[in-house]
């Protein structure tokens, strides 16, 4: 993801009175008003937000819209390659894109912990706006709450998003057919390992950078080429393996992939080996799997590789006749095994 820091002219923090968020910033009075006006409205500036209404009134050119929501809690707030603000925009934008929708509007709800440095909030808000501009979405409504110190972990963000369906194509797990190719848009496991490395103070030979990125542009390119995509799924929590299990369950087919075909960056691979993790279960924030008819694979790959977020796109497997919810994988030494969904998160091994 491109660096957003230089995107908006480096203006000083608009609220100088307190260096930290106070309970009164959520109290409904002047301080809250100042925070909203000087920081949020000023940064997210757009005509819809400027209505200053209790609700944003949107006009919609399409019969069908997509609507989604997600909440973002992460420690640390800043990690190599991104921060919680970029995640909060990309995550919801990407969920809309996976439904084949063109993301248009976002809402944002902040839960702030008393004592959060205003500077931190400022950086997050600026990066949210820069990411929103990159995705072509507007933040049109919002909410702020401040809770006592210790009652939240610095900042929680909820975003909801509305996207417009410009194409009539049904993009849905149930549309996946036997014979479809499974394509991933790039290397997997980077976001999860980047966050873990910072959180746990693990240092590796080279920094692992999160893959957080908006995918709406890439999806737009695929759909505008008329490719008959059957399903799209972003590979967030639970990683590639969990996403494939969910799709296999929904489409009532088996999915077979090849371990040797799955792209994993060397430093991510190394970190996973050291901790006893399997990269196919590690979260991404800028990767997705596409299920496309086999005859359209090459065209899809050409389009994807022409976009910065899809340069590492490759085929990793296919949909096969088989039991619903059963994903199999040819291991690196050429033997098939099941790729199950994990019962919880991966835990580092003793030895």
- Confirm if 268 and 279 have CB atoms less than 8 A apart: yes
Nearer to other proteins, 67 or 204 (CB): 204
Taking the C-alpha atoms of residue 3 and residue 108, their distance in angstroms, rounded to an integer, is: 22
Least Å from the CB of residue 181 to other proteins: 22
Taking the C-alpha atoms of residue 96 and residue 160, their distance in angstroms, rounded to an integer, is: 10
The owner of tokens 């109290």 is 27
Nearer to other proteins, 148 or 336 (CB): 336
Q: Which letter, b or e, does each residue of 109-141 get, where b requires 16 or more Cβ atoms within 10 Å of its Cβ?
A: bbbbbbebebebbbbbbbbbbbbbebbebbbbb
Least Å from the CB of residue 240 to other proteins: 15
Nearer to other proteins, 94 or 248 (CB): 248
Nearer to other proteins, 226 or 348 (CB): 348
Nearer to other proteins, 311 or 323 (CB): 323
Least Å from the CB of residue 104 to other proteins: 39
* Mode of pairing for the β-strands spanning 314-320 and 254-258: antiparallel
Least Å from the CB of residue 271 to other proteins: 11
Nearer to other proteins, 103 or 254 (CB): 254
Least Å from the CB of residue 195 to other proteins: 14
Least Å from the CB of residue 270 to other proteins: 6
Nearer to other proteins, 225 or 258 (CB): 258
Least Å from the CB of residue 327 to other proteins: 10
Nearer to other proteins, 57 or 333 (CB): 333
Least Å from the CB of residue 2 to other proteins: 28
The site for other proteins (CB under 8 A) is made up of: 200, 202, 266, 269-270, 273, 275-276, 323, 325-326, 331-338, 340, 342-344, 346-351
Nearest to 271 by CA among 200, 345, 330, 341: 200
Nearer to other proteins, 22 or 193 (CB): 193
Least Å from the CB of residue 278 to other proteins: 8
């Amino acid at each position: 993801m491109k660096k957003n820091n230089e995107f908006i002219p480096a203006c000083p923090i608009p609220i100088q009175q307190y260096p930290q968020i106070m309970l009164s910033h959520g109290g409904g009075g002047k301080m809250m008003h100042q925070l909203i006006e000087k920081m949020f409205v000023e940064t997210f500036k757009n005509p819809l937000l400027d209505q200053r209404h209790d609700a944003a009134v949107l006009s919609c050119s399409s019969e069908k819209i997509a609507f989604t929501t997600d909440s973002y809690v992460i420690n640390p707030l800043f990690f190599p390659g991104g921060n919680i603000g970029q995640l909060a925009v990309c995550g919801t934008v990407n969920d809309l894109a996976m439904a084949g929708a063109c993301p248009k509007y976002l809402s944002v709800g902040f839960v702030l912990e008393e004592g959060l440095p205003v500077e931190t909030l400022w950086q997050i808000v600026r990066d949210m706006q820069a990411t929103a501009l990159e995705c072509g979405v507007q933040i049109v409504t919002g909410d702020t709450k401040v809770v006592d110190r210790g009652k939240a972990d610095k900042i929680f963000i909820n975003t909801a998003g509305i996207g417009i369906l410009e194409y009539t194509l049904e993009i849905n797990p149930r549309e996946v057919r036997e014979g479809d190719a499974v394509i991933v848009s790039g290397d997997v496991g980077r976001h999860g390992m980047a966050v873990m490395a910072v959180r746990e103070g693990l240092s590796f030979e080279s920094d692992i950078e999160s893959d957080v990125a908006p995918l709406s542009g890439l999806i737009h390119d695929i759909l505008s080429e008329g490719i008959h995509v059957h399903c799209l799924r972003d590979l967030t929590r639970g990683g590639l393996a969990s996403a494939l299990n969910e799709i296999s369950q929904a489409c009532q087919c088996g999915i077979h992939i090849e371990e040797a075909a799955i792209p994993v960056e060397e430093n991510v691979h190394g970190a996973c080996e050291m901790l006893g993790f399997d990269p196919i279960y590690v979260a991404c924030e800028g990767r997705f799997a596409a299920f496309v008819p086999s005859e359209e694979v090459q065209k899809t790959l050409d389009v994807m590789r022409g976009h910065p977020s899809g340069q590492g796109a490759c085929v990793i497997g296919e949909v096969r006749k088989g039991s619903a919810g059963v994903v199999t994988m040819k291991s690196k030494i050429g033997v098939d095994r099941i790729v199950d969904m994990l019962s919880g998160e991966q835990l580092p091994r003793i030895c």
